[in-house]
Structure formats: C-alpha cells, structure tokens
Amino acid sequence: MGLQGQSFIGYRRGSTSGKVLKAFDPTHGTILEPAFYSTSKSEAEEAINLAARSFAAYASLDRHKRAGFLRSIADNLMSLGEQLVERAVSESGLTAMRIRNERERTCSQLRFFADMIEEGSWVDARIDRGDPERKPAPKPDIRSLQRPLGPIAVYCASNFPLAFSVAGGDTASALAAGNPVIVLAHYSHPGTAEYAATAIRDAAMSAGLPDGVFSLLYDAGIDIAHVLVNHPDVKGAGFTGSRAGGTALMKAAAARPEPIPFYAEMSSVNPVFILPGILQSQADTIAKNLHASATLGMGQFCTQPGIVITLDGSESFVLKFTELMLQTAAGVLLNRNISSAYQRAMSERPQRANITLKTATLDEPASSAETCSVRASVLETDAASWLADPVLHEEVFGPSTLLVHASGREDLLRIAREMKGNLTATILGTEEELADYADLAKILEQKVGRVLFNSYPTGVEVCEAMVHGGPFPATSDGRSTSVGGRAILRFTRPVCFQNFPDSALPAELQQANPLKIWRMEDRRYIQG
C-alpha cells in the first residue's frame, strides 16, 4: 500500500493544500517521503461534526458489533505486515523487534477491550428497585450505568508509534466505550499513522459504521491541537507527551466555556529505592536488571527508572551499573527535538552543584551530527543536593539515570516525601526490609499509580488491575489510568434512569438482565 499523505476526514481523504510535513529517519538522518498535508481548520471541524453526528448511533451499537470492530482493527494492523514495521522503524529509530512487540501489544490491547465490552459488566450497572409502599415517600426505581461522553480527541505519542498512537490505548478505550475518535498524528511518524488509520477506517467501513466514528488529522504546527481541544463538540481527550504540551492543552480544556476531561500522561522519573540488605547478595543482578530497564528502547519509556536512591553499602552495585551503562552501545533517539534535549541535559546537569557525570557521554559525541544518536549516561549526587535542587527532580527523557545517595533512613524517607507525582515507584529489598520500611511504601503509595517490589517499572502489563497513571505531573488526572481495564472509564460518565418502563431501558438495566452481566442490585452483586 502506497502512502498518500492526506488526512482521514471520516471516510474521505483530506486535501493536499495544507502545509507539508515530512518524516525524519533519526537513524540515517534523512528525510522520508511522501509529503503529509496539514489538515485545515475547516477539515478538522468537518471531522468533529461527522464524529458528533455519528455519536448516537455508534454509542448504541450492539456490543458484539463494537467488539468485532475492535478485533478487525487488530486483524487489519497485522495484515499490513512488514510495510508497517519498516515504516515505523524508519520513522522512530526503534528496532524492528521492538516495533513487532509493540504491534503485538497494540493488537492484544484492542482485543482486551473487545473481550471486556463483549462480557459487558464494565458498565457498572446498578439497580435499586422501587417500592411504592415505602413511607413517608414511595421509593423510586433507580437504575444507572456508564455511558460514553461523545467525540474524543486523541493526541499521539512520539515514543510509542503504535501502542500510544493512532490505534493505541486511548483510541481503543474510547472506541470501546462507544465514543467516536479524532486522532491527531504525531509529526514524528505520519506514515505509521496513515497505515494504522487505514486499518481503523477499513474496519469501520466493513462493519458498516456511520461516517465519522474515526478521523485522522495531520498538522505541521500546533493549530489543530488547539482546534480539537477547544471545539464544543469534543467531549474529552487523551494525550501522551511532554509536560509543556500536556499542560498547555489541559489548561485549554479547563478554560473552555464547557470544560472537558483532558487525560495527559506527561513526565515521570520513576524512582527506584534500593535497600541495603538485598545488595549483599544481588548487587550484580540488580545492576543488570536495572540497566536493562533504564536502556530499554534507548530509555524512551515513560516508566524508565530515571532516579535511583541508594543507601550505604551500594558501592559494588554503583560500579557495576555504571560499567553497564558505559558499555551500552550508542543508540538513536526518536527525533531531533528529543536528542537535542537529552544532549542539552547531559551538558547542563553536570554543571549543577555536587553532581557528577559518571559516564562519558560528552566525550563521545554521536557518530554523525545529522542523526539522533546518543549514549547512555549515569549522574550521581547526594540526598542534600538533590533535595536542594528542583531541576534534579525533573525527567530527562532518554537513557539516563541519576543515582542519589542517601546517608540514612531519614534521608531516604525525605527524598520519598519530596518526590512529585510519578507513574511508578519501586522498592528493591528483602521481604524483611520491605516490612521494616513500611513507612516508605506508604509514602510512595501517595505519590504514584503503581508501586513495585523487586520488579522493574518498564513493561506495563495490559490487564484489568493495571494502573498506568499517577498524581500530577505524571498525569493531568491522578484518578485515571491510560492502560488496563479502568482506562475505558476515562471516556464515560454515569447516567441514571428513574421509573423507566423496562422496554425503554438500555438492555444492561432491564429486569431480566438479558446481557447476563454482573450488576449491583439492591446493594448486592449478582450475575443475571
């Protein structure tokens, strides 16, 4: 399939008159054909209008049909075969194996939500039966369930061209809930976006869905991002990207005449606390595992362990970890903005008080100034210096880890308390140490969406229990997760029916429970 470069305005393709955007191959430092054309404001509005018009029909689509739609997106993605993989590799600098794994994850995520909506209990159906005889006032019959919000805008991530992009988790969960979706492609991987968009469009057409359930927009600038977040018919949004971009859009969402939920996943340093006991026997293993986690995908995971806190007795771990980071081959970051920001941080941070660059990033510049190649790095400081310098609390996106040495338990707890909101926090220790540091675990629980024990934060399992979220600035809304079963609830709200005749109720709430879902009936959980 040849790439055409035009937006998808529902089922039609957009114009070729907009400003041109071309992808960049960060591995070879070359511009990639073809040209992609920025969506005009009026085309974006047309896409939103189509989405709004398709909403009612799509929201009440039979659950099996909606599940089938999600599964056929996954099938279509697989059918795109190696052309999709090759394009994503060229546009991201990620390896083909990584892209194949990400495609697998993207497809299994679509199937995960398909299974969930087909089973159906996710709607949280609640029934409180009426009682006309109750005194002093009759008790009404009250039934409620989660319903979709309306058209949802999805902003693609640079670092997951598939799993957090056009057909990624935001789109999958928003579509699963019954919302039309308008996606804004990331400038880094417009070709991958076009492939994924064809997979969704073809699945929608085959399922006979109304025009407008899905659109894909391109933009060489930032205008369309704001058109989406400000349009009155857009009722929610999902975003994965930088803190600057995310906070600008979340402020816009809050400042609208009618504010809307804006779910941004932004920045996280994912602190790892290593307790001394476990280092006695496992310093090398921990160094190896932590190195693997810190450099996975060249450190471009939102759960990359960016800060490691150690206590006395960590010398051999530090040596081994630093050695492994030093030995790591130079690798390519996603795009020039990201590689420049990384290089800038690696030249600026060692200038700060009491901070040492333990690796040779600066001495070994990338092999070509044209590519986005960088080396892994280790920085080191002490607790007091970290506590005193807010810059060191911020994420460096890429394969860099800051070691913070705490001189004792109080120091370590103070660091935990001063941490901002994060996606994850990890404790490595013996089980006895975990019990001994129960206060540390309690502090971390208040700071993050996921606390790990003797495990590594990269690799986010797609499952019902996953929480991939966390207090600001990790995300814009710490009550949400962008991965796992609860992700669907970001794009729904509860709606209640009072004294409705059975036949006029949604099937999920009808007396006979025709869908056989789990419901809460008169305060008890019952499966029909």
Should residue 108 be labelled a site residue for a second copy when binding is judged by CB under 8 A? no
Using CB under 8 A as the binding rule, the residues of this chain from 230 to 269 that contact a second copy are: 250-251, 254-255, 258-259, 261
Task: Provide the mask over 41-70, with x wherever binding to a second copy is found by CB under 8 A and - wherever it is not.
Answer: --------------xx---x----------
Site string for a second copy, 419-458 (x = CB under 8 A): -xx---------x--xx--x--xx--xx-xxxxxxxx---
Judged by beta carbon, residue 375 or residue 490, the one nearer a second copy is 490
Task: Please say which residue, 63 or 201, places its beta carbon nearer to a second copy.
Answer: 63
Contact between 23 and 190 (Cβ < 8 Å): yes
Q: What is the maximum alpha-carbon separation in the chain?
A: 83
Site for a second copy in 332-351 (CB under 8 A): none
Q: How far is the CB of 5 from a second copy (least distance, A)?
A: 35
Task: Work out whether 394 is an interface residue with a second copy (CB under 8 A).
Answer: no
In the bound state with a second copy, the residue whose beta carbon lies nearer, of 364 and 445, is 445
142 binds a second copy (CB under 8 A): yes
Residue 11 touching a second copy (CB under 8 A): no
**Number of residues forming the site for a second copy (CB under 8 A):** 80
User: Considering the rule CB under 8 A, would residue 126 count as an interface residue with a second copy?
Assistant: yes
How far is it, in rounded angstroms, from Cα 299 to Cα 322? 15
Tell me which amino acid residue 92 is: S
Tokens of 266: 């932004």
Distance CA 90, CA 399 (A): 20
Q: Is 58 left (phi over 0), alpha (psi -120 to 50) or beta?
A: alpha
Return the sign of the alpha-carbon dihedral for residues 53, 54, 55, 57: positive
Q: Which of residues 146-205 bind a second copy (CB under 8 A)?
A: 147, 149-150
* Residue showing tokens 């941490």: 419
- Binding region for a second copy (CB under 8 A) out of 120-128, 323-331, 354-362, 398-406: 120-128
DSSP 447: T
Minimum distance from residue 355 beta carbon to a second copy (Å): 24
What is the spatial distance between Cα 299 and Cα 333, in angstroms, rounded to a whole number?
9
380 has catalytic annotation? no
Contact 504, 496 (CB under 8 A): no
SS3 for 312?
coil
Q: Is 364 a catalytic residue?
A: no
Least gap, CB of 520 to a second copy (angstroms): 5
Report 481-510 residues binding a second copy (CB under 8 A): 481, 485-486, 492-501, 503-504
Q: At its nearest, how many Å lie between a second copy and the CB of residue 55?
A: 8
329/524 with CB nearer a second copy: 524
Is residue 466 at the binding interface for a second copy, with CB under 8 A as the rule? Answer: yes
d(CA 213, CA 57): 10
Minimum gap (Å) between residue 327 Cβ and a second copy: 23
Instruction: State in angstroms the smallest separation of the CB of 81 from a second copy.
Output: 20
Q: What distance in Å separates the CA atoms of residue 246 and residue 249, rounded to the nearest whole number?
A: 5
Q: Residue 189 or residue 447: which is nearer to a second copy going by CB?
A: 447
DSSP secondary structure letter of residue 475: B
3-state secondary structure of 53: helix
Catalytic residue among 43, 265, 395, 508: 265
**Which whole-number Å values give the CA distances from 330 to 195, 292, 327, 371, in the listed order?**
30, 14, 9, 11
β strands within 366-501, DSSP E: 373-374, 377-382, 400-405, 424-428, 450-453, 492-498
Q: Active-site positions?
A: 265, 302
